[in-house]
């Protein structure tokens, strides 16, 4: 049956296995503090019916049908239609790129451009789900720690839903001014913490019960349910033919957890016949997950993170238990790239006319590295996820193009007369 609201979901702890109340305020297991995951009985769904219902909704004018998240609502959250706080999120482009594919070393490369979401990053897909659930629970104030994008997105959706919003971001240069300005402008109470993201998230989780805050970091299982829609939309756009690889950047590992869950659900439902592999790319200065992978899935050792890709400047990724299980299930790999590699890849994503912020370009830099190493073959078909918009970090672009970097395209200052312009243009 295909309906707006089903009751097949349950909430389970991935550590101790205990069943939890589906509609609870605690985002973690109340018994052991482990991560929670939404599970659902998929046996009542039929792949053909789901595909048909999802396709039909694209032609509707209703906000919950047009949303690239709620269009897939059977696999997102069992809410009534009027409980969904939506603002046209999702429905992002999937762009074939020939030059970039050649540069990376693969036959076919599509970029899924999540920067096209309303606040400029994939976070909107998680927040439409998380904030809708917050409203259903009767939460008064939603909160997050953030490297910037989560706070921008939460601030927007909280304002739409009429909820209070508290965000904690690292003070100073490690939070992009553009992202911070979004949180401020959407009206969030914004605390600039004299510490890093990892510290901010620890503090928030410790204080949330006392301060009556509903935490909407990706530790929240409903956030991940919303972010699964990136994979539903991608596979739908590819005619339900899985590519060979999905490549994405890894920070707090919410997307890694969400994508692998979505792909496993799609295979179980028969929506796709086979699974793609997954490649997670971390910045070298913030790569505890890559180190765990390289050590044969050794226990994750938190690090003090540092990278110019501030969105993924994370040293203790909260979702690593889910992410490592997911990567293993998809026979995936985890790799690292340096900041200069990230910035060169970003320049090429930008020049392709698509554009992204530094963290997003880690996926393309990582793809190139994996091709050079022979992990990804030249004939393979790849989808890389571009997680955030170019304008999320304009300073990073300006600095790059003012530098002597390989793909720098600096402006030429000229006198304000015809002759000077003519001389410069003819000189090109």
For residue 247, report the phi and psi dihedrals to the nearest 5 degrees.
-120, 135
3-state secondary structure of 290: helix
Contact stretch for ligand F0G (CB under 6 A) within 17-25, 60-68, 183-191, 246-254: 246-254
Which residues inside 312-331 make contact with ligand F0G, applying CB under 6 A?
A: 312
Among residues 166, 300, 388, 397, the one that binds ligand F0G under rule CB under 6 A: 388
Give phi and psi for 113, each to the nearest 5.
-95, 90
Piece in contact with ligand F0G (CB under 6 A), picked from 27-35, 91-99, 235-243, 247-255: 247-255
Residues numbered 339 to 378 that lie near ligand F0G (CB under 6 A) are 357, 359-360
CB nearer to ligand F0G: pick between 85 and 360 = 360
Q: Which of 176, 336, 387, 397 binds ligand F0G (CB under 6 A)?
A: 387
Task: State the Cα–Cα distance between residues 235 and 243, nearest whole angstrom.
Answer: 8
Name the β-bridge partners of 113.
386
| Nearest distance, CB of residue 24 and ligand F0G, angstroms | 23
Interaction pattern, residues 205-234, with ligand F0G; x per rule: CB under 6 A: -------------x----------------
Going by C-beta distance under 8 Å and a sequence separation of 6 or more, which residues neighbour residue 136? 23, 79, 83
The CA distance from 410 to 221, in Å, is: 44
Residue 213 C-beta: closest distance to ligand F0G, Å: 16
Q: How many residues bind ligand F0G (CB under 6 A)?
A: 22
Quick one: which of 67, 92, 97, 121 contacts ligand F0G (CB under 6 A)? 121
What is residue 173's DSSP assignment?
A: G
Smallest distance, Å, CB 109 to ligand F0G? 18
47-57 and 229-237 are packed helices; what angle lies between their axes, rounded to 10 degrees?
90
Note the maximum CA span of the chain. 76
Of 195 and 270, which CB lies nearer to ligand F0G in the complex structure? Answer: 195
Of positions 12, 92, 150, 234, contacts ligand F0G by CB under 6 A: 150
Closest of 192, 158, 194, 195 to residue 176, by C-alpha? 192
Using alpha carbons only, give the angle 132, 138, 139 rounded to the nearest 5 degrees: 80
Among 148, 276, 332, 366, binds ligand F0G (CB under 6 A): 148
Closer by beta carbon to ligand F0G, 133 or else 253: 253
Residues 317 and 334: their CA atoms lie apart, in Å, by 14
Segment holding 202, helix H or strand E:
helix 197-211
State which residue, 50 or 318, has the beta carbon closest to ligand F0G.
318
State which residue, 45 or 222, has the beta carbon closest to ligand F0G.
Answer: 222
Q: Give the torsion sign (CA, 291, 308, 116, 345).
A: negative
Residues in region 160-179 near ligand F0G by CB under 6 A: none
Residues that bind ligand F0G (CB under 6 A): 121, 146-150, 218, 249-256, 311-312, 357, 359-360, 387-388
């Amino acid at each position: 049956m295909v309906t707006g609201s089903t009751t097949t979901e349950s909430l389970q702890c991935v550590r101790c296995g205990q069943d939890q109340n589906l509609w609870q305020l605690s985002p973690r297991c109340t018994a052991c503090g482990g991560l929670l995951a939404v599970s659902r009985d998929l046996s009542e769904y039929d792949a053909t019916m789901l595909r048909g219902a999802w396709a039909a909704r694209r032609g509707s004018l209703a906000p919950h049908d047009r949303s690239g998240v709620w269009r897939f609502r059977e696999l997102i959250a069992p809410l009534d239609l009027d409980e969904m706080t939506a603002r046209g999120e999702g429905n992002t482009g999937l762009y074939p790129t020939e030059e970039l594919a050649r540069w990376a070393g693969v036959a076919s490369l599509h970029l899924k451009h999540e920067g096209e979401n309303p606040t400029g990053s994939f976070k909107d897909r998680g927040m439409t789900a998380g904030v809708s659930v917050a409203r259903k629970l009767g939460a008064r104030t939603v909160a997050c720690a953030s490297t910037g994008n989560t706070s921008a997105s939460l601030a927007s959706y909280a304002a739409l839903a009429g909820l209070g919003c508290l965000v904690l971001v690292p003070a100073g240069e490690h939070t992009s001014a553009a992202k911070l300005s979004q949180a401020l402008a959407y009206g969030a109470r914004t605390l600039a913490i004299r510490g890093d993201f990892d510290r901010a998230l620890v503090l928030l989780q410790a204080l949330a019960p006392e301060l009556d805050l509903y935490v909407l970091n990706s530790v929240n299982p409903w956030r991940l349910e919303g972010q699964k829609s990136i994979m539903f939309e991608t596979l739908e756009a590819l005619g339900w033919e899985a590519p060979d690889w999905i490549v994405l950047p890894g920070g707090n590992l919410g997307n890694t957890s969400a994508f692998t869950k979505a792909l496993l659900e799609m295979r179980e439902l028969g929506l796709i016949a086979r699974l793609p592999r997954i490649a997670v790319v971390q910045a070298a200065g913030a790569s505890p997950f890559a180190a765990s992978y390289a050590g044969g899935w050794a226990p994750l050792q938190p690090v003090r993170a540092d990278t110019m890709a501030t969105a993924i400047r994370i040293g203790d990724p909260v979702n690593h238990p889910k992410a490592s299980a997911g990567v293993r299930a998809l026979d995936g790999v985890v790799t690292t790239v340096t900041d200069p590699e990230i910035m060169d890849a970003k320049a090429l994503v930008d020049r392709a006319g698509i554009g992204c912020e530094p963290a997003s370009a880690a996926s393309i830099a990582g793809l190139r590295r994996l091709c050079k190493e022979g992990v990804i073959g030249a004939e393979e078909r790849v989808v890389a996820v571009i997680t955030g918009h170019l304008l999320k970090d304009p300073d990073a672009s300006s600095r790059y193009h003012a530098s002597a970097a390989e793909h720098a395209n600096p402006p030429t200052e000229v006198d304000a007369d015809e002759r000077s312009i003519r001389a410069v243009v003819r000189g090109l």
